Structure 1
Amino acid sequence: MADTVRVRRIAVGDWDTVVELERDAYTGLGLSEGRAVLQSRAAASPDTCFVLDVGARTAGYLLALPYPFRRYPDLERAEDTATGPGPGPGNLHLHDIVVAPDLRRRGLARHLLRHLTGTARARGDERISLVAVAGTGPFWTTRGFLPHPGVVPDGAYGTDAVYMSRPVPAAPSLLPSLREVS
């Protein structure tokens, strides 16, 4: 892929694409939330919600929000943005991550996840959590997430949904190791 890959905050002009990507990814699972709910999630935490550009194309998005550990957004309710931002640093919940179907399996989700991890680290978060849907738990396990069975009630996020989390890893050292210097 020769196109430049860039992760940036969601802008007003991105919503048609974000809604289309979300609809295509989640409608068949009965988990699509719709524009107003998606926008409420980004409005609740604009510094932790991003789009992925590949060249001039918006090719994916990620919505993450600060949520207490072992808690997660209700798919049928918009975020209450009137009360201000959610809880401070601690747990950053990865609510949605979607890459356009024709661009999957190229490592693009990894760009989004790496950006989110850096954001969580900069915020001072200790954990990143998510609800793995449609049997994707093994995918997330290979990325360091561990399951917490029984947190998500049956049917709340479809069948086979499981709450998972992982610690936010320490920042990689920018200094060379002693072996590299000697």
Structure 2
Amino acid sequence: MDHAPRVRALADADWPRVAALEAAAYAGSGLTEGQAALESRGRVSPGTCFVLDLGDRLGGYVLALPYPESAFPDLAAPERAAHRTANLHLHDLVVDERLRGRGLGARLAGHLTAVAADRGFERMSLVAVAGLEGFWRGLGYRAHRDIEVPSGYGPHALYMSTRVPVRGPSNRKKRADDGAPRP
């Protein structure tokens, strides 16, 4: 790594690199959505999408968007609009395979959790894929085996969720225009 990794907001110019990281991470799994679908998810909640910036390249990304509890994006369809909900769905988190095992995935997830708390979200959810249930359990997520996940998410995909820790009085501020957490 040329520079110390830093987490920053995802910028429009990052999308080709995000799509390349996604394609590499899910090669052969059938889970690759492609750049247009990823962008559609990022557009509905740009304030909850981040990259791991290494200076000369991206080392990873996390995409999250408001989604009702027990629900998740349809992988075959682009997002059209943000949902009004107190649940933030972590749709995708990828770390470049050359950088795995260094705590960078947990760092991205921790950054997202802090942002979720600051924006007033009460819960976070995700669909654990590719056998990563243990990773998410280690970050405080609990499995909901009673919630059926479509086969498009791959074999053994599992819906999981956690409560967002309260960080202080400012994290429950609501948006004046609609009363929903700030996306």
1:91 aligns with 2:98: no
For the structure 1 residues 127 and 18, does the alpha-carbon distance in structure 2 shift closer, same or farther, using more than 3 Å as the test? same
Cα displacement string for residues 42-86 of structure 1 (whole angstroms, at most 9, x for unaligned residues) = 0011111111112332111100000011110011110004xxx32
For the structure 1 residues 70 and 51, does the alpha-carbon distance in structure 2 shift closer, same or farther, using more than 3 Å as the test? same
Question: Do the aligned residues in 1 keep the contact of 2:91 with 2:126 (CA within 8 Å)?
Answer: yes
Residue in 2 aligned with 1:73?
73
TM-score, reference length from structure 2:
0.86
Question: Do the aligned residues in 1 keep the contact of 2:149 with 2:159 (CA within 8 Å)?
Answer: no
TM-score, reference length from structure 1:
0.86
CA distance in 2, matches of 1:2, 1:117: 27
Residue in 1 aligned with 2:11?
11
Deviation of 1:97 after TM superposition, in Å, equals 0.3
Pairwise CA RMSD: 1.6
SS in 1 for 2:90: strand
Question: Do the aligned residues in 1 keep the contact of 2:123 with 2:164 (CA within 8 Å)?
Answer: yes
1:153 aligns with 2:149: yes
Residue in 1 aligned with 2:130?
134
Residue in 2 aligned with 1:36?
36
SS in 2 for 1:72: coil
Question: Do the aligned residues in 2 keep the contact of 1:52 with 1:58 (CA within 8 Å)?
Answer: yes
CA distance in 2, matches of 1:71, 1:77: 14
Question: Do the aligned residues in 2 keep the contact of 1:152 with 1:161 (CA within 8 Å)?
Answer: no
Cα displacement string for residues 17-37 of structure 1 (whole angstroms, at most 9, x for unaligned residues) = 100000111132111001110
SS in 1 for 2:37: helix
Deviation of 1:93 after TM superposition, in Å, equals 0.3
Q: Identity of counterpart residues, as a percentage?
A: 50
Residue in 2 aligned with 1:164?
160
Gaps of 5+ in 2: 169-183
The number of aligned residues is: 168
1:100 aligns with 2:96: yes
Which aligned segments of 4 or more residues in structure 1 are displaced greater than 6 angstroms?
none
SS in 1 for 2:117: helix
